[in-house]
Structure 1
Amino acid sequence: MPWRSASVLGVLGLLVWPAAPTAAVSGPYEPAPRPFGASCSVYVEGSRATAHCHNPYLDTDRVQLHVECERWWDVDADSAPVDLGPTGRATLAERCWKEIRSVRVSHLRR
């Protein structure tokens, strides 16, 4: 075999041969975090706020509706917290006397 053919075969052999691992994984294996958090749809109608929540995940999610009222004399309102287990559903509602400034739903892993 001529020397040029041998060198070409040697280069092709290096390209095809699997490479050895260059870096070892250090530290313990950490799995990806599990998905969490109920999905909530929030509706505001006048001075009333309603949230419909559904938890599609395995971990229990404690949801709570928070309503901030527009007027300084109107008391802000927080609903009672509800624990939603897997496939759980809940409807949360609160209101202000007059206008609503903002509405949010908080989530807590249980």
Structure 2
Amino acid sequence: MIEAANVTAVLRTLADPTRRAVFERVVRSDEITVVELTRGSGVTQGAISQHLKSLKQAGLVAERPEGRNVYYRAEPEGLAPLVDWLGHYGVFWRERFANLRTLLKEIDP
């Protein structure tokens, strides 16, 4: 069963375009720091930190402190609720399209 709260948390977190861009940069990196994420983003370091906090709370990123730096990496399992939810509706729509295809064949002379 898909837990609605988990799906909602992931969707809300990724709904913000800036946060989604931060997440995409983390995904493209093995590990990345706040300073590296801030560079060239046009967003303040404080804002990047807040976005990372939201991503971490949603289970989409993990952090690893090392000295004065904190390294962030993507947590693929964090997307599992969204993947499950989309998979559920994928089955739903495939069935509907199959039914529509059958109906169209029946009415097509």
Over alpha carbons, which structure has the higher Rg? 1
Query: Could you say which structure has the higher strand fraction?
Result: 1
Assess same fold via TM > 0.5.
no
Give the TM-score of the pair, scaled to structure 2: 0.19
Query: Could you say which structure has the higher helix fraction?
Result: 2
